[in-house]
Amino acid sequence: MCRLLGVTNFEYSRHEKIVRNFCRLARSGNVMAGDPPGHGDGWGLALYRGGELIVRKSGGNLLDEADKVIEILSGVGRSPVVILHLRKSAWNDTTCTRHAHPFHHNNVVFAHNGVVYGYKGLLPDIRIPGLGEDALDTEVFFYRFMSAQSPDLGQSFLDTVALIKRGYKFSALNCLFSDGARLFAYRDYSKEPEYYSLYKSCSETSGIISSQPLDENLQWEMMAREEFLEIAV
């Protein structure tokens, strides 16, 4: 249960408003019916500099640490892809940097909004090293599709989505991921479509994907259920 933001051809001077408005979702972001307000169970960001993936995460509340995000992104200035994530944990006693999104392997980074139940059933098919024994559903989901046979990153993801949809219950499979040359986005849900939303927009040379609209001057369109996007940078 989280909030997601992805931007291609990111420039802090152009996207500062979007970043700051996204940070405010830690307090004001949509929540599911009956849930308390806030997405304060950790945050993370990913960007690319000189082709190298850089990931920064925290188990703290972004309301107390927004200056860190602003400092990192304003200091970098530009990146072909930026992904930001706000966490509202579905798992008790897991609010820590270890379980903050996004997760990464080599130069691929992955963030998710939703829950995959019974996710440990995916473990036998994971063939790459690095998965911790305390890994939760999102990290297992990521390592499973990174272990797939297809050299096509998008197809590996979709194959794993198909596997989950056949054999597992889930609340949502809303995802953003990137290899530095492309931003991928996917939306699917089994309940509460108003909460498990993903919107798409564009601004000049940038594609923008967000759980909620972040700039009233842009046109936002809700992604369809099972819509999959691949945005080149």
Instruction: Give me the phi and psi of 117, to 5 degrees please.
Output: -85, 145
**What's the residue count for the chain?**
233
Non-local (6+) Cβ contacts of 72 within 8 A are: 45, 47, 56
Two tokens, residue 192 = 């509460």
Cα 137–Cα 41–Cα 1 angle in degrees, nearest 5: 50
Architecture category of domain 2-232 in CATH: 4-Layer Sandwich (3.60)
182-207 pLDDT, tens digit per residue, is: 999 999 999 999 999 999 999 999 99
Question: How much is the pTM?
Answer: 0.96
Alpha carbons 208 and 191: distance in angstroms, whole number? 24
pLDDT of res. 34:
78
Considering only 14-23, 34-43, 141-150, 185-194, which range has the smallest mean pLDDT? 34-43
pLDDT of res. 188:
98
For the chain, what are the domain ranges? Answer: 2-232
Decide if pLDDT at 91 tops 80.
Answer: no
Give the mean model confidence (pLDDT) for residues 140-146: 97
With cut-offs at 50, 70 and 90, classify the pLDDT of residue 32: confident
Helices (H), the chain: 12-28, 62-76, 137-146, 153-167
Alpha carbons 156 and 122: distance in angstroms, whole number? 14
**Do the beta carbons of residue 149 and residue 130 sit within 8 Å?**
no
Decide if pLDDT at 141 tops 90.
Answer: yes
Q: What is the DSSP string of 161-174?
A: HHHHHHH--BSB-E
Give the mean model confidence (pLDDT) for residues 154-181: 97
Non-local (6+) Cβ contacts of 177 within 8 A are: 83, 102, 108, 109, 110, 111, 142, 153, 157, 183, 184
Strands 199-203 and 182-186: unpaired
Give the mean model confidence (pLDDT) for residues 20-31: 94
